[in-house]
Amino acid sequence: MLKKSLVAVLLLGSMTAAFAQAPAFKRVMLQTMDISYAGHEAVTARAEFPAGVSSGRHTHPGEEVGYLLEGSVTVEMDGKTRVLKPGDVFAIPAGMVHAATNTGTTPAAILSTYIVEKGKPLATPAK
């Protein structure tokens, strides 16, 4: 009985550690600066996607202008999808619900600049 309990505890611990270390979407903030458009700022960030990972549906309180650095990313926006490859650029209007998913087998990275309202979260989850 003790052996079965010990095995169960070890198995549960291994599963918990695996879930805790699951790869996730990550946005690395590189720069934030005031701009001449009152009440707004420019934010530059690098989005990193392990293979198969999505940003989830979300919006921004301003425009996003981006460039795919590496990998393959599918952007879903306004009922349409677009597959990006390295060197492709894109723009997402303020408040537009969208999601990006690494549909490739290697990590993907996007460099984006956001022109957003100051004081608001850079991204807000959407339903």
Amino acid identity of 70?
A: E
* Nearest Cα residue to 114 out of 71, 75, 67, 63: 63
Closest Cα to residue 48, out of 100, 125, 123? Answer: 100
pLDDT tens profile 89-102: 999 999 999 999 99
Q: What is the pTM of this model?
A: 0.80
pLDDT by residue (tens digit) across 102-124?
999 999 999 999 999 999 999 99
Query: Residue 16: phi, psi to the nearest 5?
Result: -60, -45
- The reported pLDDT for the residue numbered 19 is 52
Tens digits of per-residue pLDDT, 14-68?
444 445 577 899 999 999 999 999 999 999 999 999 999 999 999 999 999 999 9
**Using CA atoms, how far apart are residues 48 and 45, in angstroms rounded to an integer?**
10
Distance of CA 74 to the CA centre of its chain: 12
Residue 71, pLDDT score: 97
Q: At the topology level of CATH, where does 23-125 sit?
A: Jelly Rolls (2.60.120)
Provide the pLDDT for residue 20. 56
pLDDT band at 1 (very low <50, low <70, confident <90, very high): low
Q: Buried b vs exposed e over 35-62: b needs ≥16 C-beta within 10 Å?
A: eeeeebbbbebebbbeeebbbeebbbbb
- Closest by CA to 126, choosing from 102, 83, 92, is 92
- pLDDT for position 127: 82
